[in-house]
Structure 1
Amino acid sequence: MHDNGNGGGDRAAAPAAGDRLEQPAFLALERELTVLLRRARANQGEMAREVHPDLEPSAYGLLVRLDECGRQRATALAAYIGVGKATMSRQVHALEDLGLVTREPDPADGRAWLVALTGEGRERVTRVREARRARYAGRLAHWDSTEVTELARLLNRLNQEMEK
């Protein structure tokens, strides 16, 4: 067996992190994620306006989180969205003013508040999310269902890795 100086015999040394960044797969990944994120930001603004003409695009994700997970503390929502308490407080107040959410005292801690969708908020978010899924289904109609499932699985895996 030939020793190439890395103590690993014939095996080539693993590429350094910097070398790996230049691999075509990572260049393509960076490019495609940039396009996806740009489109997602634009779509988020459109969806926010569909929920309510005065809704800030950044608040749409908050409404989706409440739709998926039910009522939550504002601090938990701030951590999930990645904003500070002051920003979350401002967004919750704006959503209250639009009639999309309500705040109620947390029975487990009288000092804390739980944020929940109102009936109107849930109805509007549900309508917009269903319309978005219909657009995805239309645009991906020529994809095999296993490809859609695989894409969802890989995106979930990517999202899990990004949470670490």
Structure 2
Amino acid sequence: MQADPPSHQVDELELAAGLARIRTMMRMFDVPRDLSITALSTLANLERLGPRRLTELAVIEGVTQPAMTQLVSKLEHQALAERRPDPEDGRVVLVSITQHGRDELARRRAAQAKRLAELVAELPEADRAAIAAALPALDRLTSRALGGGA
């Protein structure tokens, strides 16, 4: 008979699958779907990281530079992002999020949070407590993955 693993061990495959399901759930909450996942991720990264070069954004998002150039053009057309010369090197162009882009992300997050709160309220208290207890660890995990240390 095999002993149960200690409670602090994590099944990496189970964790990856669970987080993928959460990503899918959160994407389902994003209505309207007028912006792609990559567009929303790019805006969120610009908000979190500050202005970035197109080449850096392409690497972060895992797309080609031409694809990122096209995406940034669409975001500019919607006034969600803008290109400006780098103040330290005028030959370099940086992409930054606009206030309208910040407002749009905030609006979408608020709608997602409202729907998520409705679902969480339907869970038993023990599940709500487990989710709340996991949040700091998940924050540290994502911070590490996104280069924030921890």
1:60-83 deviation per Cα after TM superposition (whole angstroms, max 9, x unaligned): 111112223333222332232233
Question: What is the aligned partner in structure 1 of residue 99 from structure 2?
Answer: 119
Residue 37 of structure 1 deviates from its aligned partner by 0.9
1:115-143 deviation per Cα after TM superposition (whole angstroms, max 9, x unaligned): 12223222111111122223333333441
2:70 pairs with one of 63, 86, 90? 90
SS in structure 2 of the partner of residue 61 of structure 1: helix
Q: Unmatched 5+ residue regions in structure 2? A: 1-8
Residue 102 of structure 1 deviates from its aligned partner by 1.0
The TM-score with structure 1 as length reference comes to: 0.64
Structure 1 161/122 Cα, relative in aligned 2: closer, same or farther at 3 Å? closer
Q: Would you say 1:37 and 2:20 are equivalent positions?
A: yes
The TM-score with structure 2 as length reference comes to: 0.68
Q: How many residues align?
A: 135
Alignment of 1:49-60 (within 5 A): 49-50=31-32, 53=34, 55-60=35-40
Question: What is the aligned partner in structure 2 of residue 132 from structure 1?
Answer: 112
Structure 1 77/45 Cα, relative in aligned 2: closer, same or farther at 3 Å? farther
Question: What is the aligned partner in structure 1 of residue 3 from structure 2?
Answer: none
Residue 157 of structure 1 deviates from its aligned partner by 4.2
SS in structure 1 of the partner of residue 79 of structure 2: coil
Which has more radius of gyration? 1
Question: What is the aligned partner in structure 2 of residue 101 from structure 1?
Answer: 81
Aligned partners of 2:53 and 2:93 also within 8 Å: yes
Matches of 1:64 and 1:43, distance apart in 2: 14
Residue 39 of structure 1 deviates from its aligned partner by 4.5
SS in structure 1 of the partner of residue 60 of structure 2: helix
Structure 1 152/99 Cα, relative in aligned 2: closer, same or farther at 3 Å? same
Q: Would you say 1:155 and 2:126 are equivalent positions?
A: no
Matches of 2:117 and 2:29, distance apart in 1: 18
CA RMSD of aligned residues (A): 3.1
Residue 84 of structure 1 deviates from its aligned partner by 3.1
Aligned partners of 2:29 and 2:115 also within 8 Å: no
Residue 94 of structure 1 deviates from its aligned partner by 1.7
